A and B are shown apart, each in its own frame.
Chain A
Amino acid sequence: MVNLLMANPDPTVVERVERPAEPPPTAEPVPPLTFEVKNLSIWYGQKRAINDVTLDVASNAVTAIIGPSGCGKSTFIRCLNRMHELVPKTRIEGRVLLQGEDLYSSAIDPAIVRRRVGMVFQKSNPFPTMSIGENVVIGLRLNGVRSQKFLNERLEKSLRMAALWDEVKDDLHKPGTSLSGGQQQRLCIARALAVQPEVLLMDEPCSALDPIATAKIEELIYELKSQYTIVTVTHNMQQAGRISDYTAFFYLGKLIEFGPTTKIFTNPSERQTEDYITGRFG
C-alpha cells in the first residue's frame, strides 16, 4: 500500500500527519459534532445528485470533501447552508442537523441558517461597487445593524481573523476589486466571518490562486479552526492531506469513505478510496 505522503517525506509534514492535532484516535470518546447528516439524498429534477449520505462533521475541526469532478462535492456542501435551494426543481430527503437542530424544518428561515453557516466560493467575488471596508461589513449592514461603532469593531476583528488587516488597514476606502487574487479571497473570508457564523464552508477556495496565496489561505484555515468548524471542498488531494482533520471521499454522489485524514490517506478501508488517492483514476 503506497502512502502518497511518504513518497517525498518532509519531516515537518510527516510529523504533523503522524501527530494529529485534533481529534485524538478512535479509542477516545466521540468529539462534539456540529453537523449530523443522516441519509441525505438530493435530486435536481430527475437526476439524483447525492445518494444516501450519512456523516458527522466534528466541531472546531477541518473536514475535507474530496472526489473527482461531478461526484457531488459542491452539491453536498451547499446543502449544509441551504444554498442548493437556489437551483430550481431541487428535492431533498433525509436530515441535516446543525447543533442538533433540523436545518430543513419549516420553522427555520434559510436566512438564519446562512448567517450561522457561512460560505466562501471558488472564485473570489468582492462586490464591485463597494470599497474594502464596505465589503466586509455589508452582511451586517444589510441584516439590520446600524451602529457605526459596532460595524467598525467587527470590521477590524474580521480583517484580523482573515489575516488581512495589516495589509489593508490604510486602504479600506479603496475598491474591493483593487486587491490581488489571494487578498480578494481573504477579503471574502473576512466578509463571511463578519456575521459571526459557527461554521465556514469553503468551496475550492484556493483553486483559482497561485501557490503563495494558497499557502496563506491554508495557514489561515489552520488558525481559524480553533474558533470555527470548517468544511472545505477541494480537488487537490495534497491540500486535503495538509490541512484537514477528517476527510470524506465522494464518488458519483455516494459517500465512499469518511474518517480521520490520517487513516484515509495511509490506510483507507475501501478499494475505490485507495485507487483515487493513489491516482489510478481521477
Chain B
Amino acid sequence: MEIAAPPAPKAFEAPSDPRSVARAMAPPSRFGDKAFEWLTLMMAMAVVVLVILTGWQLWRGSSQAIQKFGFHFLATSTWDPVAEQFGALPFIYGTLVSSLIALLIAVPLSIATAVYLTELAPLSIRQPLVSLIEMLAAIPSVILGLWGIFVMVPWLRDYPFPWLKRLFGWTPFFSGPIYGTSMLAGGIIIAIMILPIITSVSREILRSVPDLQREAAYALGATRWEVTRIAVLSYARKGLFGAVILGLGRALGETMAVTMVIGNTPQIAASLFKPGYTLASVIANEFTEATTDIYLEALFEIGLVLFGVTILVNLIAQLLLKTMTTTTSGTRAVQ
C-alpha cells in the first residue's frame, strides 16, 4: 500500500502552561475507593444479617413455648388455644400433604411443558408461551385465592370431586362428605402457583444442556423424542431434581391462596376431601387473634419450624442447581 509523504507536523498552539490541566484536576484520594468498597460490602452483608436476624427473632419470640412444650410440639396434634394446648402436628401434616399433592400434579406438567418449550415446540410459539407462563408467575397469591374461593372450589365440589368419589370412594383418600374447601383443593391451588417456577427453572436447565449431546444422539438416528429422553433428560437429571425441590420450597411456604381454599381446620384425616390446615395458614389466620402470650409464642414457634424447613429445602435445591451448571461440559460423552 502506498502512503503519500506525510505532511510536515502541524504547529500546535502550545498550552499556556503545560501543567494547567493537571492543576485543574483534583488530586486523587484513596479514601473514596476504600469507603465505597466498605459501603457496598456492608450492604451485601445485609443478606447474612437478614438470615441471622430472622432466626434470632423467631427463636426469641417462641422461647417460652419451646421451654414449655419442647419437642412434643412437633408431635402433638391438639391445637386448643383456650386450654393453652398447642401441637403443631396437624399443620406439619397439612403442609406436607398439600405440598405433596401439589408436586404430584405440577411436576409432570411443568417438566413436560419445559421439554416442549425447549425441544419439541415450533420456534415461533416458544416466546409467546414463555411470556404467558411468566404472566402466570406474576399473579399474586391472594388473587389466585380469590378465584379459588369463588370459581375453583365450587366447580370442584360439583364436578371432579363427586366423580373422584364415585371412582375411588372405596379408598380412605376419597371417602367422606365433600365440602369443597379441602386438602385436595389446597393442593391443587398450590400446584397452580408453583407451575411457573418449576417450568422456568427446568427450562433453563434443559437449555444449558450442550448441543453436542443432542447432536450425538441425532447422528445415531434417534427421533426427536428419543434425543430428548436419552441425551437431554438424563444429562439434566440433577438440575431437574433441583427445580423440583425449588418448587417444593415454594409449595411449603405458600400462604394466601392456600388459606382461602383449604378450610382451615386443624385435623389429621386420611380423606383429601376434608379440610386441612398448613403451617403458613395458621400463622396468617390466627396471629392477630392470639390473645395470650403463650398462644403468640406457639405461633412464633410454628414460624420458626416453617423457616427452618424452607431454608433447608431451598439450600438443597440451590446446591443441586448450582452444582449442575458448573459440571456442564461440552466434551462430556453421551450417557
Consider the complex of A and B and state whether they touch directly, i.e. have CB atoms less than 8 Å apart: yes
Chain B residue numbers with a CB within 8 Å of A15 are 5
Contact A147 B25 (CB under 8 A): no
Contact A196 B15 (CB under 8 A): yes
Contact A140 B25 (CB under 8 A): yes
A75 to B272, CA, bound (A): 70
Closest CB in chain B relative to A11 CB, distance in Å: 9
A226 to B9, CA, bound (A): 8
In the complex, chain A residues 201-245 whose Cβ is within 8 Å of any chain B Cβ? 211, 215, 218-219, 222-223, 225-227, 238, 242
Chain A residue numbers with a CB within 8 Å of B21 are 140, 154, 194-196
Determine which of A12, A157, A227 lies in contact with B3 in the assembled complex, contact meaning CB atoms within 8 Å.
A12
Determine which of B2, B10, B15, B28 lies in contact with A112 in the assembled complex, contact meaning CB atoms within 8 Å.
B28
Closest CB in chain A relative to B14 CB, distance in Å: 8
Q: Does B4 count as interface, using CB distance less than 8 angstroms?
A: yes
Closest CB in chain B relative to A151 CB, distance in Å: 9
A22 to B95, CA, bound (A): 84
Contact B9 A195 (CB under 8 A): no
Determine which of B3, B10, B30 lies in contact with A109 in the assembled complex, contact meaning CB atoms within 8 Å.
B30
How many of chain B's residues touch chain A, expressed as a range?
A: 20 to 34
Chain A residue numbers with a CB within 8 Å of B25 are 115, 140, 143-145, 195
Contact B6 A219 (CB under 8 A): yes
A16-B5, A222-B6 known; A227 and B24 CB under 8 Å?
Answer: no
The chain B residue with its CB closest to the CB of A158 is B21
Closest CB in chain B relative to A173 CB, distance in Å: 24
Contact B12 A227 (CB under 8 A): yes
Determine which of B2, B10, B13, B28 lies in contact with A10 in the assembled complex, contact meaning CB atoms within 8 Å.
B2
A102 to B27, CA, bound (A): 19
A102 to B178, CA, bound (A): 87
Q: Does B22 count as interface, using CB distance less than 8 angstroms?
A: yes
Chain A residue numbers with a CB within 8 Å of B82 are none
The chain B residue with its CB closest to the CB of A111 is B28
A111 to B18, CA, bound (A): 19
A161 to B14, CA, bound (A): 12
Q: Does B26 count as interface, using CB distance less than 8 angstroms?
A: yes
Q: Does A150 count as interface, using CB distance less than 8 angstroms?
A: yes
Closest CB in chain B relative to A20 CB, distance in Å: 13
A-B contact pairs, 7 of them (CB 8 A): A109-B28, A115-B25, A116-B22, A144-B26, A194-B21, A215-B3, A219-B6
> Which B residues fall within an 8 A CB radius of A?
1-7, 9-10, 12-13, 15, 18, 20-22, 24-28, 30
> Which A residues fall within an 8 A CB radius of B?
10, 12-13, 15-16, 109, 111-112, 115-116, 140, 143-145, 147, 150, 154, 157, 161, 194-196, 211, 215, 218-219, 222-223, 225-227, 238, 242
**Sorted from nearest, which 8 A-B pairs have the closest CB atoms?**
A144-B26, A196-B21, A111-B28, A143-B25, A12-B5, A226-B9, A109-B28, A145-B24
